[in-house]
Structures are given as C-alpha cells and as structure tokens.
Amino acid sequence: MHKVDVKEKARTRDQRILKKWNEEGTFKKSIENRSGKPNFVFFEGPPTANGAPHIGHVLGRVIKDFVPRYKTMKGYRVVRKAGWDTHGLPVELGVEKQLGISGKQDIEKYGVEEFVKKCKDSVFEYEKQWRELTEAIGYWTDLDHPYITLENNYIESVWNILSTIHGKGLLYRGHRVSPYCPCCQTTLSSHEVAQGYEDVKDLSATAKFKLHDSGDYVLAWTTTPWTLPSHVALAMNPDMEYARVQQEDGVYIVAKNLVEHVMKGDYTVLSTHKGSEFVGQSYTPPFTYFKPEKGNIIVGASFVTDSSGTGIVHMAPAHGEDDYKTCRENGISFVSVVNAQGRYTDEVTDFAGRFVKDCDLDIVKMMSEKETLYSKEKYEHSYPFCWRCKSPLLYYAMESWF
C-alpha cells in the first residue's frame, strides 16, 4: 500500500499550487478573461528593494493582494502593476554605511554624481528576495513590468502633475519649521529626533520688552536666548489674567499665576488685566537688528498658557512652528537671521558668522549690559541632538513649496 506522508504533503501544498498557477498562467488569465470588462486599477505602493523583506511586509502585501482578488471575483479587469521605490533616505543611508561615510558634507567630498550612481546600483540589491517572498505568499502582481521611481518617465510624470497644480495657481512658497542639523544640513524626521535626546543644562533668560505707551516692561522667558535676535512679536493669551507688578526699577507685566515664580525680590501687584487689553501694543525688543514689518507688537494666541515661563511668549517665526503660524496669521513679516550652517547672518552685527548655540552666554551678557535682561538661570532640560553627528539640532524654518 502506498503510504502518504501527511507532513510532507502539507509542507508542499503551497508549492504545488504555485506550480499549477505558473504552469497554467492563472494570474495572466484572470486578466485576459476579463478584457472589455470595467477596469480596477491597482498600482502598488512601492517598497524599497535595497533592504531584505521581512515578516512585516507580508501583512502589507497580503492586504494589497486580497482587494484586487475581490475586485477580480466581482468581474473587474484588474491589472496589477508592481513598483519599486528607489529614492529617499533609506537608500542614501545604506550607501553611506557601505562607503563608511556620513552626512551631506561627506557625500559632497565623495562626489554627488558618483554617490548617485552607487545609490542606483544598490536599489535592486534585494530584488530577488522580494520576488521570492512575493511569489511564496501567493501575491499576484506584475513584477516583470514594474514602475520604478528613478526612471525618467516616472519622474517626468511627477513634474507634469506639479506643473498642472501650479497652472491652477495651487502652489505657494512658504516655510516649514523642522528639527534641523546645521552640520549635516538636513532636516530630521521625528523618528530620528527621538533617538538623540540628552539632558543638558542651558542658559535660560527672562527678557524685558518696553511698552511704548506705558513704559511698563513685558517679561518673556526663553530657554534659547540665541533666538532673541530673530524676535518679531510677543504672544499673550487674550483670556488669561496678567498682573502689573511694581518693583523699585519699574513696572513689569507677567501672568497673574506666575508672579511669585518670576519676580525676584520685593514687589507690589498694582492691578490685574485680561491679556486682550495688551494685544496690539507696541514695544522695543532687546535686539533691533532689523525692523519686522507689522512686528514688535503683542498678538493674541490661545496656545499661550501660564504653566511655565512668564505666560508671555517671545516669537521667532524662523525657529518655532507656533511662532511661524501665529506670525503668518497676523501678517507679520518672516525674518531669518540664521543661515543653513546655523550661523548668524551679517545683519546680526554683534554675532555675525558665529554658531548660534554658542552665543547664548554672550547674548545674555549683552542684554545685561543694555538692561534688557530681567533674570537668567541655568535650566536643565531634554534637548535633541543629531543621532549621526551629535550636533545640537535647531528648530529651523526651511523654505518649501505647499
């Protein structure tokens, strides 16, 4: 009697079915049989073939398989085009690793042209494994005629789409504030930023902004004094209570709930006011390297709280997302006095050419001399550093299209 090895049979069932599908051209037939029927178009969201596929990819591919199969069973003609994503950081980082280099400057030293060539060579390194996995899980897709993002016809189709959008007047140039490494000269993703936090002690400063009408000083606290030369506006919460506080050398304005926390020495609270009473007032900031259009005024912003600082926020649209949005909403000009290397531009005459993070101490000193500093203290906080080169990251407004 012929004995059936059940285990062996179970192990090879998938292989027997694959063999049958291949021999009979089942996938191809499922499309040909439906010529003239309505199309259901499926272009695969392309994976990157410079790395080996792993079990996580199986989940995505199974989902991408059963929708077209369902549509096929409903009678649609479903041409399924595979694709390869050949661009972006995963490819570049892989080649950097292979060459033992790191970052934009290293790449430029190596030669951009040559680097691009290496990248192109690397992107199909694991194509064979991808094909094997795809077939092994029974995922039907046309791997023989894929679209590839590095091919000119693909790139040109993207340009064509952009041109169409532009033709309709739907593109505009703006800024996006992102964590930025001035050494690698690239923005970092939130995933990358999360890898580089360290507890550090920085110098924080409470700065004085003299109101033109009353001569009172509005106080604003910052853990990044280097952003003060980029200052364009102050934000107060229109619905929050603020106090006018008398001290020997002047009257100061801070959030009512933070008076005790902020004020040094003896003081008397003169009166309290809603933030809205201050909105629209103009003042002189500690640094006046430029005159921001419609700037150096107090604006209302509901994101301002009294949980820390003074309850009044110093705004530098080049270095903060909320700052950027609020200034834009209020029609205040965008100003950036920090270049792509993280150094002050010539406008900032006192610190031109210096790396901004190294200027905190000198900025605070200068404010002290000019009597625009209320107080300073060492402040321990968690700060992000570049995971690649260990430089402190800056929040930096990069010009982009939207």
Residue 82 found at the interface with Zn ion (CB under 5 A) = no
Interstrand relation of 394-401 and 173-181 (parallel, antiparallel or unpaired): antiparallel
Binding mask 131-170 for Zn ion (x = CB under 5 A): ----------------------------------------
Q: How far apart are CA 44 and CA 62, in angstroms?
A: 12
> Can you read off the two tokens belonging to residue 157?
């189709």
Report the nearest approach of Zn ion to the CB of residue 392 (Å).
10
Contact stretch for Zn ion (CB under 5 A) within 14-22, 161-169, 280-288, 388-396: 388-396
- The dihedral region occupied by 134, where left means phi > 0, alpha psi between -120 and 50, and beta the remainder, is alpha
Binding mask 254-293 for Zn ion (x = CB under 5 A): ----------------------------------------
Report the nearest approach of Zn ion to the CB of residue 124 (Å).
29
Contact stretch for Zn ion (CB under 5 A) within 48-56, 79-87, 174-182, 229-237: 174-182
3 state SS of 238: coil
What are the angstrom distances between the C-alpha of 161 and each of 155, 156, 158, 401?
Answer: 10, 9, 5, 14
**Cα-atom radius of gyration of the chain, to the nearest Å?**
30
Residue 298 found at the interface with Zn ion (CB under 5 A) = no
Residue 388 found at the interface with Zn ion (CB under 5 A) = yes
Residue 173, beta-bridge partner list: 401
At residue 282, what are phi and psi to the nearest 5 degrees? -105, 160
Binder to Zn ion among 78, 184, 232, 335 (CB under 5 A)? Answer: 184
Q: How far apart are CA 187 and CA 53, in angstroms?
A: 27
Report the nearest approach of Zn ion to the CB of residue 390 (Å).
7
Residue 389 found at the interface with Zn ion (CB under 5 A) = yes
Residue type, 48: T
Q: In the range 13-52, which residues lie near Zn ion by CB under 5 A?
A: none
How many other β-carbons are positioned within 10 Å of the β-carbon of residue 376? 18
> Can you read off the two tokens belonging to residue 51?
């790395």
Contact stretch for Zn ion (CB under 5 A) within 3-11, 62-70, 183-191, 285-293: 183-191
Contact stretch for Zn ion (CB under 5 A) within 136-144, 205-213, 237-245, 389-397: 389-397
Contact stretch for Zn ion (CB under 5 A) within 228-236, 335-343, 373-381, 384-392: 384-392
Binder to Zn ion among 82, 183, 207, 359 (CB under 5 A)? Answer: 183
At residue 8, what are phi and psi to the nearest 5 degrees? -60, -40
Output the CA angle 105-108-110, nearest 5 degrees. 110
Nearer to Zn ion, 105 or 284 (CB): 105
Binder to Zn ion among 82, 181, 220, 299 (CB under 5 A)? Answer: 181
Contact footprint for Zn ion (CB under 5 A): 181, 183-184, 386, 388-389, 391
